[in-house]
Structure 1
């Protein structure tokens, strides 16, 4: 069978691996023993009942393929993947899906699983929490902390004068400001002192292993419209590591994955005319705790706290458990 190596077991990686499991020998290269549902990571910090639920085993993902628990040390244009320890995997196709790193706790890194309980205790003790960054992570975390500890002082600091980078209408930000005011979450532009600080900025694409001319100075990979890495014939890149002009989100990584899987399937079957991916306009579902938040999408407009809370009520956990064969 055609062999497809998928490097990275995040949102895009598990989606493309599952989609190709019936038509190729799929090898998912991932050092973790479990998928981390980072979409719910901030809830897991403030609500211990979520702390174990966000870790979902990989063992039910593939019916035919296999999981290789290893780091990818180097990937070259000839579809060669060098692994930690000196082993090598070669494939007919490679999908790079290694995502991005981000400061804890918005993303739980390897070895950080046990930090969740400790961070919860630190938050309980703190009288004033400082969140650096007024983007989606900082604001969502502020809402989660406020819902868990109604009397705690919370400050979000950002150098920018406005909230939420991105192409959102004024109504979106007005509704967001109103909810933050009602929740007594201060948003300032100058640094302040606090008992506990979290950095809520600084996503970095994880592509240090990519020995490819398409790797740009910022670490992202230039891709063609069909999501093949520029200058290669059989290497695809999806998710946060791509240089596509759009937000970096789990749902978009999965959209990339479906296009890449369709195109690899077409190539395997000898079909011509690959699917082109269209970068998506800015859209977001931004919860502020279990009962608040604001959302925007061009086709839906601005949605308020009740609708936003309903959309994110379960953080799509059941969907990912089903995808990973753990429903």
Structure 2
């Protein structure tokens, strides 16, 4: 049932925001406030870098035509209150319900550095050309992004020498020991060197993603490479909320209730990486948040009490492909954490990076 006159403003069109506006489009007047011209399937960005001709365009789902009834405003938000959103242009969007879904930023190439699909595609092709000519690659950061980037590079250029450095003493701390053992074994098989407990004494003088002579030291040990990438430094996109609707925690995240309301605000919600929910920041979690909030807003629109609550997984969840043929994963079960066999990692994510799922979910062809 469509409820004319009820406006839902959704700030941010990433994994959570995009799922939410699709879910509510037929039930309310939805306004998506998002400066990008397309939904970006960021999980595919590292393969878009290593295989741009085959993969880059598959990452982008244009917002043009994304909604049947709602509208998309290519704007940044500069402020939020209980009744609406102030845009960077100075205009204001009045709304009955507001959902904040601006997520996190991350250094390129894990996330794009432009709001334009055309420019993002050009960036991937430019960096691909820089990477193609490099024999030695340095990756700073051994989290999922650094590991996945190394795997994608090896899938295309198995001869390249790859070194990953990280100050952590172990890979993927907090996950099961069996997963870490399997991860080390696969990295060794791929010929990827990992130096743990090591911090770069200084960042390379060369810009990340640009070919050039990289000569650094880590704990006074020299490291040389022909290109390097930064695979750390996630930041919460909450600058527009610093003087606003609720106090942010030290990570810049919003406090939310189990129903995903911003604390103290019945008609304002937050989803995805922007929340202070105690869990890994994953696309799948953002999608689950969106389902909870969609149900609660629909209940409120229909004069009912919102009842849906979100329960984070008690088990740390991860699927980390190392290219299309390798990777590790951990999922919850009734008996606790379960390590995924490599075949499941490949099937669920490694082979197509879940592009099939998003093609179906958004009922759109990727950008041509």
Where on the TM-score scale, by shorter chain, does this alignment land: which range?
Answer: over 0.9
Distance in structure 2 (CA, Å) of the matches to 1:273 and 1:141: 41
Q: In structure 1, what is the equivalent of residue 360 of structure 2?
A: 322
Distance in structure 2 (CA, Å) of the matches to 1:27 and 1:40: 27
Aligned residues: 325
Displacement of 1:219: 0.7
Q: In structure 1, what is the equivalent of residue 98 of structure 2?
A: 94
Residues 260 and 271 in structure 2, CA contact (< 8 A), matched pair in contact too: yes
Secondary structure, aligned partner of 1:52 = helix
For 2:343, which of 296, 306, 309 is the aligned residue? 306
Distance in structure 2 (CA, Å) of the matches to 1:12 and 1:290: 25
- 1:60/1:318 CA distance change after superposition, 3 Å: farther
Secondary structure, aligned partner of 2:8 = strand
Residues 214 and 231 in structure 1, CA contact (< 8 A), matched pair in contact too: no
Secondary structure, aligned partner of 2:225 = coil
Residues 13 and 32 in structure 2, CA contact (< 8 A), matched pair in contact too: yes
1:182 aligns with 2:189: yes
Q: In structure 1, what is the equivalent of residue 248 of structure 2?
A: 215
Higher mean Cα deviation, 89-98 or 106-115? 106-115
For 2:237, which of 191, 196, 206 is the aligned residue? 206
Displacement of 1:215: 1.9
| Correspondence list, 1:199-278, <5 A | 199-210=230-241, 211-278=244-311
Moved over 4 A (4+): none
> Any stretches of 5+ residues in structure 1 without a counterpart?
none
TM-score computed with the length of structure 1 as normaliser? 0.96
For 1:142, which of 147, 150, 153 is the aligned residue? 150
Displacement of 1:127: 1.2
Secondary structure, aligned partner of 2:264 = coil
Displacement of 1:126: 0.9
Q: In structure 2, what is the equivalent of residue 282 of structure 1?
A: 316
| Correspondence list, 1:109-188, <5 A | 109-110=113-114, 113=120, 114-165=122-173, 167-188=174-195
Secondary structure, aligned partner of 1:122 = helix
Displacement of 1:58: 1.2
Distance in structure 1 (CA, Å) of the matches to 2:35 and 2:190: 40
Q: In structure 2, what is the equivalent of residue 193 of structure 1?
A: 224
Displacement of 1:273: 4.7
Residues 4 and 93 in structure 1, CA contact (< 8 A), matched pair in contact too: yes
Displacement of 1:318: 2.4
Distance in structure 2 (CA, Å) of the matches to 1:259 and 1:179: 37
Distance in structure 2 (CA, Å) of the matches to 1:89 and 1:24: 15
Secondary structure, aligned partner of 2:239 = coil
Distance in structure 2 (CA, Å) of the matches to 1:202 and 1:302: 27
- 1:273/1:50 CA distance change after superposition, 3 Å: closer
For 1:60, which of 62, 65, 71 is the aligned residue? 65
Residues 110 and 145 in structure 2, CA contact (< 8 A), matched pair in contact too: yes
- How large is the Cα RMSD of the aligned pairs? 1.4
Residues 142 and 166 in structure 2, CA contact (< 8 A), matched pair in contact too: yes
Distance in structure 2 (CA, Å) of the matches to 1:22 and 1:308: 35
Higher mean Cα deviation, 96-105 or 181-190? 181-190
Distance in structure 1 (CA, Å) of the matches to 2:74 and 2:353: 27
Distance in structure 2 (CA, Å) of the matches to 1:92 and 1:118: 44
